[in-house]
A and B are shown apart, each in its own frame.
Chain A
Amino acid sequence: MSRALAIALLLLAVAACNRGSSDRGATRVALNWKPEPEFGGLYEAVHGGAFARHGVSVEITGGPGAPVVQMIESGQVEFGVVSADEVLIARDRGVDLVAVFATYQTNPQGIMVHAQRRATALPEVFSEGGRLAVEPGLAYVKYLQQHYDFSKLAVVPYSYSIGPFLTDAGLAQQVFVTAEPIAARRSGADVRVFLVADSGFNPYAAVYATRGSRAREARAEVEGFVAALREGWSGYLRDPRASNQAMARLNTEMDAETFEKAAAAQRPLIESVSAGGALGSMTTERWDELGKQLQALGLLDHPAKPGECWFDAGTSGSTR
């Protein structure tokens, strides 16, 4: 409680100080998680020199629990990594946030169950009953609750530990397909994972966002950042080893094998761009669909304007 208050006061102070300051110097990027393969292209662009070639010097900050939306809004960082639903919700709350690059074209969120369960598809996981551990307030959980039978299911909070899952055969839980399933299998569990995207709710994830004013006023800089990031991702998909090593030095909890497996697991989710699109590219149709879904869930107070929530930074940097 006091931590939330402290963060709020800190942000207030920063918001007051940062007002009007110029964006010269390093371009700061706030992550919402530890250095893991979901940021592989970013680290590749740093270490492989893509940012340098585009004249951008990047400083990576943030981490688990970082209030990324607030950090972007208050001017503490130039870019932040969020999910597409966060972008739309923030815009609905009056924050001028625009997406510039969408790492995951297919959402990597899923529901993991013990393989011994009979469920062969997502609806059966819920109708079977038992417990489902999810973070409270997640948009996709609301979507699933609206579309499937949750009457026999007890929804409990997920607190980033697979401990309860490992000790409870009747517990299903939310996962990032690049993280928890790999950890659970390493711990000896036999698990099955169902992608939430298959249910029809598929927001872009690991989305790089910036302030709308910045995208308009510093267009060339934003385009340079995106082009470099795209080069980074191309490079990381070709060979993730160097960047995995760089990230492993910063995230010592994760071993080399897990980095390798996670990078392999996420690959199809990143490469599944719409026809003719470059890595990270987005379409107004996808944003429109998500906006309608979020509004139907009661998460948006006003209809979303799908054309305004993303910034087309072009397709340069693409080697595909």
Chain B
Amino acid sequence: MTRVRAEIVLPPVIALVAVAALAEGAIRAFGVSPLVLPAPSAVASAAFERAPILLPALWTTARSVLVGLALSTIVGVGAAIALASTRWVERAFYPYAIFFQTVPIVAIAPLLVIWFGYGPPAVVAAAFIVSLFPVIANTLAGLQSVDPDLRDLFRLYGASRLATLRKLAFPWALPNILTGVRIAAGLAVIGAIVGEFVGGGGLGLVVLGAMREQRTDLVFAAVLYASALGLALFAAVDLACRVTLRRWQRHDAGER
């Protein structure tokens, strides 16, 4: 087990150290101003020293991301089920679902404040909008890829639409759904931070303030925290993915 962990953990750590060392060396060699691009060591020390500011901001951002992601998962799966229900519904509405993928969130962000008010509501809305589409698209792909023979079998036994969805289509689409949520998790972090640029609070506000105060090291430290949040979410969804799929597969094997 420890060997396996080492194999998983070591390569990215080595890559990180190597890239950071290279950047540090290049920045020092060229004498780049810390205002233009701070050295990794300066960013690391800002990340550590300014933790009293960054940690509460991270928590604020994380809450908005989680709510936004939960909403986009629920709405996205629901919308995909509706789209998959009949052909004409899909034809009529799917093009508009794509709209959510192409929303230039930065452009409409100021409007979110007018619609939802300052603070978390606008931030959650931004996270939701940018993370919705991958959930819809992947869920829909999963629902539509159900084995036709199995569908026929369910029809033969006179299974209701709901039963077919619960016992066949949904479990079948689960891996796709989780892939969608995994992609959505990273996007939700970006959406929330853009939302915070206009709605206030969290890491987004720290970034803006640090830019204005010409503390570029703090800007990058905040970016680091945001990436950590994205990574943690990715890992959490990945874990959920493995746990649920294992149960489903065992369940599946038992049925047969």
Contacts and interface: CB of A to CB of B under 8 A. Distances in A.
B111 to A, nearest CB: 7
A124 to B, nearest CB: 22
Query: Interface residues of B toward A: which range?
Result: 35 or more
Contact of A167 (B27, B114, B215, B223): B114
B109 A154 contact: no
Given A16-B30, A89-B214, A1 B223 contact: yes
A136 B110 contact: no
A74 interface: yes
Contacts of A5: 223
B33 A131 contact: no
B197 A137 contact: no
A136 B208 contact: yes
Contacts of A169: none
Contact of A299 (B36, B190, B196, B213): B213
Contacts of B180: none
A164 B110 contact: yes
A95 B212 contact: no
| Chain B facing A: main interface SS | helix
A61 B119 CA distance: 35
B33 A164 contact: no
Contacts of A131: 118
A73 interface: yes
Nearest to A299: B213
A163 interface: yes
A33 B36 CA distance: 20
Contacts of B118: 131, 154, 156-157, 164
A308 B197 CA distance: 35
B221 interface: no
B200 A90 contact: no
B109 A12 contact: no
Contacts of A154: 118
Interface string A147-169: 00000001111011101100100
B209 interface: yes
A160 B114 CA distance: 13
Interface string B189-227: 010010011111000010111111111100100010010
Given A73-B33, A93-B34, A161-B110, A137 B210 contact: yes
A157 B207 CA distance: 12
A89 B35 CA distance: 11
Nearest to A131: B118
B200 A15 contact: no
Contacts of A70: 33, 35-36
Contacts of B30: 12, 15-16, 19
B205 A136 contact: yes
Interface residues of A, number: 36
Interface string A1-44: 10011001101100110010000000000000000000000000
A137 B35 contact: no
B33 A157 contact: no
Contacts of B213: 89, 137, 299
A15 B32 CA distance: 7
A157 B212 CA distance: 13
Interface in B160-178: none
Contacts of B226: 1
A155 B201 CA distance: 10
A138 interface: yes
Given A135-B212, A163-B111, A163-B114, A95 B35 contact: yes
The winner among B114, B197, B213 for most chain A CB atoms within 10 A is: B213
Interface in A284-304: 299
A164 B199 CA distance: 11
Nearest to B196: A157
Nearest first, the 7 A-B pairs at minimum CB distance are A137-B212, A137-B209, A136-B209, A156-B118, A136-B208, A161-B110, A159-B198
Given A15-B36, A136-B200, A136-B208, 6 more contacts: A1-B226, A4-B207, A70-B36, A93-B35, A135-B208, A157-B200
Interface of A: 1, 4-5, 8-9, 11-12, 15-16, 19, 69-70, 73-74, 86, 89-90, 93-95, 131, 135-138, 154-157, 159-161, 163-164, 167, 299
